[in-house]
Amino acid sequence: MNGSLLVISGPSGCGKSSLLNEILQHDNSIYFSISTTTRSIRDGEKEGVDYYYVSKQEFEKDIKENNFLEWANVHDNYYGTSLKPIKKALADGKLVIFDIDVQGHEIVKKKFPNLLTSLFITTPSQIELEKRLTKRGTDSHDTIQKRVSNAKDEMKRVFEYEYFLVNDNFEKTLEDLKSIIKVTRVKKSKEDLSNFLSNW
Ligand code: 5GP
């Protein structure tokens, strides 16, 4: 495995997708991991771009067949990362970026301890998160309350991450994210160092 991994977590609505869209538009050497989910498709989202949308039965079949690198139940829906494309991207030496929750991060960290860089992004406050979710206009009042309440629990696990960004200024956060991506790319695993040393 020559590639590297960057896990990005943070409350739904903190701006992760917009930041990542901006990065991915200008860098086609990054492999963005498209997750599979059982949640309904939102206005403006596309199958195979934002997620692969499947039924609960299909998702549970994939769990049984061990097709996921990790999966979790988030806000009462399943979300998971398929294993095969990640292995291929890493073998091709790519930087793989995941937008997954704190449970997913914990699993990926256990599976790839040497390759992983981790980042947590959030809003300046809970109130700001609620405002952004309301402004996005894609979720009902109840769903927004559930997401804000989930965010409070997710925030408690911020200490498990190497980097932390508060997205209060899009351009500034984007620049910081670019720096973290640069560092992720040059990070060397112990395995890489051992290989280098034996050939040096
Ligand atoms: P949303 O429904 O807003 O797209 O995503 C809800 C949450 O699920 C976000 O925190 C997002 O990071 C997380 N998520 C998306 N895909 C995955 C995945 O494949 N695995 C895990 N564990 N979490 C995911």
Every domain of the chain and the residues it spans? 1-29+94-200, 34-93
Give the whole-angstrom CA distance, residue 138 versus residue 133: 8
Nearest one of 117, 107, 20, 32 to 72, comparing CA atoms: 107
Residue at 94: amino acid letter: K
Closest atom of ligand 1 to 39 CA is: 2
CA of 41 to the centre of ligand 1 (A): 13
1-29+94-200 under CATH 3.40.50.300, yes or no: yes
Instruction: Tell me the whole-structure pTM to 2 decimals.
Output: 0.94
Closest atom of ligand 1 to 77 CA is: 2
| pLDDT, tens only, 28-80 | 889 999 999 999 999 889 999 999 999 999 999 999 999 999 999 998 899 99
Nearest one of 95, 65, 67 to 81, comparing CA atoms: 67
Task: Look up residue 75 and give its two tokens.
Answer: 């806000």
Q: Which CATH superfamily is domain 34-93 in?
A: Guanylate Kinase phosphate binding domain (3.30.63.10)
Q: What is the DSSP letter of 51?
A: B
**Pocket lining: 72 vs ligand 1, CB cutoff 6 Å:** yes
CA of 119 to the centre of ligand 1 (A): 14
Which 3 state secondary structure label does DSSP give 159?
A: helix
Q: Name 136's bridge partners.
A: none
